[in-house]
Every structure is written in C-alpha cells, then in structure tokens.
Structure 1
C-alpha cells in the first residue's frame, strides 16, 4: 500500500522521503529507426537490457524511501469517471485525436493508463486513417522514464513543465493530473499553460531546474528551457517577498548531451558538486548570470565568472569534482556524453550514478566516496548506514543511450531539510 505524502523539496541533496519513478515499458520499443529522431532518440534501446538496469535504480530506492510509479498513480486517478473523462478530453483535444475519445472512455483504468503511456493504435477504419503512414493515434511516450523532465518539485509547489517538444507534452498533462487528483501525493501545482500571457516561446523542463538551497535556484538556459521560461519562474518567486537568488547558466544548443543543466552540473553534498569542467570551469562563451530578488522585485542582474564562484559568493563553497577526471578532455567528453555528470542525491554525500563512467567514479572515490554496487544494496550485502559518503553504481550500458542518468530518471516529491 502506497503511503500518502505532502510534497516539499528545498534542496537537491536533502534526505529523500518520496520519489516518483516510471519503469520503462513497451513505449521504449515502440519506435523504428525512421521515427527515433522524432521521439528525441539518436538510437533504439534494447528494452530487456534497459529494464534490468532500471531494476537496479528502482530496487535501491525502494529500500531507502517510498517510491511511486507513474502508471500506478495514473491508474488510480483514472478509476474516477469524471477525472477519466476530463483527462481523455484534454489529451485528445491537444493531440487532435477526438475520434478516439469514445474508444478510450470504454477502457478500464489500468488498460487506459497503459495505452496512454505505450501508445494508442490508429484504427484503420476510414479512408484517412487507412492511407495514413502513422501507426498510432496517440504516440508512445518514449521518454517518460525520465520522470524529472515533465514536472519538478520547487519548494512547496510542483512546477508543471512546458515541454520544448510537442511529442512530450502528454507527459506534463498526465503529471499535472496526478498531482491534482492522486490520493497519494498532495501538492499545489503551477502550470505555465494556465497563464494567459505565456506564449509558445516559454519552455521549461525539469532537468534545467536545480534547488541549491531554500533561497537559491540554479536554472539552465538551454535548448529546452528558454529565457522566457526562466523569467516565468522568477515571476513566481517574486510572490515570496523575501531575498532569493536565481543563478542562470547558459548552455550550448548542441551536442544533444547538453540537453539540460543536470547533464553538466549536479549537487552531491553540502560542500561538493559534479561538473563537466570544460563548460562549467573553463573560459567559454556561455555566461553565468546572477539575478537577485528582494521584496518581490528584481534588484540586480549581473554576469559572474562561473557557476562555482557565483555560488561561493552566495555562501555555498563547493568543491567541483570533474566528470571524467581532469587529465584528458576526450575522457571527459566521452563520460559526459553518457550522463557522467548526472548524479542523484539520496541524502547529503550519498548519491547514485552510472557504473560505466569509470573515470568519474574513480574521481568520486578519490574524494572520499565509497563506490557501492547497486545489486549489493538490493541483495543486502552492504549496509548503507555504515558509510558517511558513497556513490551507488547502477548499470547504464543501455539506459544511458536514452540520453539521461540517475537524476533524469527520478522525480523527488519530498526531502528532509538540510542543516546548512
């Protein structure tokens, strides 16, 4: 039985008290080389291998904290007829598939949840559909196991993402419905789509939003989160009236491994962070900008030398640990490409990441982090309480090819406060 929980996340590293996951299913397989690019993939994943690797991530988290599966939460709300009807109406209207509405209404909740994630087959029962090259009336949500992107817990609210790609918008619609109606997670939501003055130029995805401290947000200005998206978040923070800081890190539009800020920078502990050195530490054309707010107003906007020195000014003195080590730029590039900088904190100094990034893991070990195999945790061969600092190494030969790591695959809904 799932435990009901109130959302609240005030840091990236506070001890985890609840997290939303989505085990990859047939939606990952339901693509071809022709439509992989449209699905935002550069290759097709082997589902059976990806699922075995994902079991390591989920298995460790199930031992540590309450976990909530998207499909279970979605099934739960779809058992309520008015919610089911409203959600189908919204999705079918948005995706111009109103002809499917009656068919979907007839499905039981669990089957409807499955099809909304894995894809709804196009009925070849009219000339239009018969001649269509499409296989699905509602396309599979190939990227949904990266639960971080479609919504993000920011303090006492959940921000519903405004996805940069239309193919992912259903993920955000589903997550908003879950936060509105689920009996298990109670939260206030903020959705940019609900604001009359928010246009198509405003996009925000969760991989770009990092909560450094209860008064400091770090936001990536990326191919997926626009300057208008950052401004939207700032406008929400203005309502708080107290002193707040937003540190904006500009990112290159390509290669695709720089899709979000958490692919080049993640927080590990009160005094340490993981960085992709060439972008975060070295001189380049991508600016770090500090925006200071007080009493509901922006009081200053100024460029800073880099993200690390900017955070130090704000009282966060973080040692940067380099993704891929610091001796070879090629190694750094290779391991960053496979989500080597994308760590997920279970508690301060207790994190998860891909085992495949051996130079990154070695660098973590050199900084006092014990490397622990995920399966050893699952099989009770180690007691995590025995270690002050550790990194749990999960398999990532297949999962990493989807374009994300441990932080991307986890959406925390509650963390304990950090004693700064």
Structure 2
C-alpha cells in the first residue's frame, strides 16, 4: 500500500519528504524531427540513455524521500469507476476530436473499456491513429490522441504552494492533458489531503492567463518569486495575486516578479536562471539576474486582502535582501567567462533541485558551475556512487549530487524541472 504524505511546501530548500516523478517512457520517443519542435524539444531524445540518466535522479531521491510515479498515482485514481469516467470526460472536453461517434473509431469508448493501468499508460503515451477511413489513412498524424512528450518535467503542470496545489495553465496546448492528469491525481487521492486551484475552473479568468511551475518559486512562506516570460504571463501572475488576496491574511506577503527574455529558448522559465540552494546561497545566471538590463524586477506587497505597494527593484537579490533573505550568488558557468556561462545555462546549469538546505541535485556536465559550487563549500558527489552505496550522504553537510546529462537536457530542463515536491520540512531561518 502506498504511503502518502500530507501536502505542505513552504520553501524551495526545506528537507524533502515527498516528491512526484515521471520516468520517461515511450511518449519521449514517439516523435520525428518534424514534430519535435511542436513537442517543445530542442532535439530528439535517445530513450534508453534518457531513462538511464533519469534512474540516477529517481534512485537518489528514493533514498532521501517518499517518491511517487505519475503513472502509478493515475492508475490508482482510475480504479474508481466514477473517477475514471470523470477523467475521460474532462479529456474529451479538452480534446473534443477524440469523442466523435459515428461509423469511425471512437477513442472515448476505447478509453472507457481499458483497465486502469493500461488507461493510465494511454493517457500519457497516446493512442495510435486507426486508419479506418481515407482521411486518416492519408494523414501525417500518427496519433489520434497525442503523447505527452514533456511529462517527465513534472514541475510545470502543478505547483505545491503551502498546503494547496496550483494547477498549471500551460502555454502550449500540447501539454494541457498534463495539467488535467495532475489535478485528477490530487482531487481523487485523499492521502495528499489538499485542494487544487485551477485557473480554467474560474469562468472569469483572463484568456491570456498562463502559469507554469518552472516560473513559480517559494523563497519563503511569505515570499513567492515568479518569472514573467513566454510561459507565465502577467495575467497568470495576476491570477496568483488574486488567490492570495482572497485569503485576506494579516501577515504581509510578497510577490517578486522577474521579467525574462523571450529568446533564447533556454530562458523559458525562471528556474533556468535562478534557483535556491541554501538559506544563504542561490544559483544565478549572472548576465540576467545581476547585471543591469531591460528586464524588470517588480515587488508586490499585499496584506489583509489589499495590494499595499507595487514598485520596481534594482534586481532580484536586492529585493530579497530587503525582505531578510541575504543570499550569496553562485554563478552558473562560473565567474568571468561569458562563453562558459552561456553554454552551461543552455544545458540547465542553473536548474538545481534542493533536497535540503545546502543539499542539491544538478547536471554533472556543467563543470564550471560545479567548480563554482565546490569553491563555495559544496562537496561534489556522483549519483551513481550514492546508489551503489560507495558514498553516504550523512557524511556530508553540504553537497551537490551530480546526475549525468547527455540526453535529458535536450528536452529543455534540469533536476528542478523533473521534480514536483509535495512535502518539505520547515526551514530554520
């Protein structure tokens, strides 16, 4: 029987107790160079290699915290017939072409006939197109219901914010089913003991509202840091602001908004240029976060259901320092050489996932970033050595666990992108 943890996440760095993962499956390989861009990939992945690299991440996390696989959680939900029908109805409403009846093949009926485990697989890996008429026979589409190529980046489709789950309003329609699946998991799994907040459930939500988890960081329980770029719009941030205002808390809360460039594609989320490492350290892509540029940092202060102040800040770190978080920046790509900084940021060199204060996971390929981390007191440990019991994490106070990353970064993300924490211990600030 699965042991569930009650959802509670109040920082980026609290000791990890529960995390949701999705091991890359056939959906990753079900693409061609022609549709890779539509799938939001920079290149086609080698599934065998990607899975081997991912096993290093999941293997280490399994030694640290309770881990859950999306497919298992979904299959468990689908064992309940009412939940199964509700999930499929929502999928059909979102993707109406799959519910068309008549003389041709009806995917909805096919899905309803499937056992829970197989249905969970199909909802993620897709349903092949059955060529039962000329149009389908001549179609260049291979799938009647497309695979979720990006789902191993579990961060984006749902976000744990304190004791609730904010469901992502994805920027690209190819990822909408991810959000639906994550909401279904939390709505129908009592063990997580949480409620979901989904922008699409609000009939008055702005149609331009977009929110993805790579842009939403919980710096402290009273501070959200949110990226504003191609994946999270100002309207999406306003939706989050409205949710906080509706709580009418006496305690002041803060939203720090960091504008992001639309190009290159490696800047899609805030966590590709800024992540928290420890109570007093952070990882930054220095050219964007530290140097003067045209991308604004905006500070919103709220209290008792009202916006007290909205103002510009010089940069993100100065804004956090004013709120009592004095963070030493460690530079992605190391100090000084813009070439190394740019190369390693492209390969998710700033994208770290904390399993505790001063204990993080990242790609070992970013050697200049790792050198900078080591100079700042982090021991560099290989995931393979931990899994094989050659290294004991309890022997080290601060560390970076390195996973190999020849294939996974091609999907456009790192360790934080591939993890959706559901519970962390409080941080002793």
Q: Answer yes or no: same fold by TM over 0.5.
A: yes
Alignment of 1:13-52 (within 5 A): 13-52=13-52
Q: Please say if residues 92 and 100 of structure 1, whose CA atoms lie closer than 8 Å, have aligned partners that are also in contact.
A: no
In the alignment, structure 1 residue 8 sits paired with structure 2 residue 8: yes
> Is 2:339 aligned against 1:343?
no
What secondary structure sits across from 2:147 in the alignment?
coil
Q: In 2, distance between residues paired with 1:419 and 1:184?
A: 27
In the alignment, structure 1 residue 238 sits paired with structure 2 residue 248:
no
- Matched residues in 1 for 2:2 and 2:86: separation? 25
Match of 2:221 in 1: 214
- Among 408, 416, 420, the alignment partner of 1:411 is 420
Partners in 1 of 2:94 and 2:4 — Cα distance? 31
**More moved, 184-193 vs 199-208:** 184-193
Task: Work out whether 1:368 is the aligned partner of 2:377.
Answer: yes
Q: What is the aligned residue count? A: 420
Change (3 A) 1:89 1:126: farther
Alignment TM-score, normalising by the size of structure 1:
0.99
Encode CA deviations 1:68-127: one digit per residue, 9 max, x unaligned. Answer: 000000000111111111111111221121031101111111111111111111121134
Following superposition, the deviation at residue 326 of structure 1 comes to 1.2
Query: Within the alignment, does 1:229 sit opposite 2:236 as a pair?
Result: yes
Secondary structure, counterpart of 1:414 in structure 2: strand
If the length of structure 2 is used for normalisation, what is the TM-score? 0.97
Distance 1:311 1:373 in 2: 32
Query: How far apart are 1:380 and its partner, in Å?
Result: 1.1
Q: Distance in 2 between matches of 1:26 and 1:370?
A: 35
Matched residue, 1:136? 143
For residues 265 and 157 of structure 2, the distance between their equivalents in structure 1, rounded to whole angstroms, comes to 18
Aligned equivalents of 1:195 and 1:103: distance in 2? Answer: 31
Question: Which residue number corresponds to residue 294 of structure 1?
Answer: 303
Q: 2:58 corresponds to which residue?
A: 58
Quote the Cα distance in structure 2 between the aligned partners of 1:142 and 1:60.
24
Question: Which one is further off, 85-94 or 307-316?
Answer: 85-94
SS at match of 1:334: helix
CA distance in 1, matches of 2:190, 2:51: 28
**1:150 is matched with which residue: 157, 169, 194?**
157
Which residue of structure 2 lines up, in the alignment, with residue 401 of structure 1? Answer: 410
The whole-number CA distance in structure 2 between the counterparts of 1:278 and 1:259 is 16
Q: Tell me how far 1:42 sits from its aligned partner.
A: 1.7
- The separation in 1 between residues aligned to 2:206 and 2:137, in whole angstroms, is 35
Query: What residue is the counterpart of 2:166 in the other structure?
Result: 159
* Equivalence for 1:105: 112
Q: Tell me the residue number matched to 1:266.
A: 275
Compute the displacement of 1:200 (Å): 2.2
- Offset, 1:130: 2.6
The corresponding residue for 1:333 is 342
Q: 2:102: which partner in 1?
A: none
Please give the per-residue CA displacement for 1:9-30, whole angstroms capped at 9, x wherever unaligned: 0000000010000000000000
Displacement of 1:134 after TM fit? Answer: 1.2
Which residue of structure 1 lines up, in the alignment, with residue 314 of structure 2? 305
1:231 Cα offset (Å): 0.5
- Superposition RMSD in Å: 0.9
> Unaligned 5+ residue runs, structure 1?
none
Aligned to 2:103: none
CA distance in 1, matches of 2:2, 2:56: 20
* 1:94 equivalent in structure 2: 94
Match of 1:202 in 2: 209
Give the SS at the match of 1:303. Answer: strand
CA distance in 2: counterparts of 1:233 and 1:357, whole angstroms: 34
Aligned partner of residue 82 in structure 1, secondary structure: helix
1:208, 1:261 within 8 Å by CA — same for their partners in 2? yes
* CA contact 1:2–1:184 (8 Å) conserved in 2: no
Q: CA offset at residue 149 of structure 1?
A: 0.4
Separation in 1 of the partners of 2:204 and 2:294?
31
1:183: Cα distance to partner? 4.4
Q: Distance in 2 between matches of 1:60 and 1:106?
A: 37
> Matches of 1:347 and 1:186 in 2, distance apart?
23
| SS of the residue 1:6 aligns to | coil
* Residue aligned with 1:5, SS: coil
> Structure 1 residue 297: deviation in Å?
0.5
In 2, Cα distance between the equivalents of 1:194 and 1:324? 41
Following superposition, the deviation at residue 156 of structure 1 comes to 1.1
State the distance in 2 between where 1:38 and 1:350 align: 35
Give SS of 2:8's match.
coil
Q: Does 1:386 align with 2:395?
A: yes
Distance 1:82 1:171 in 2: 20
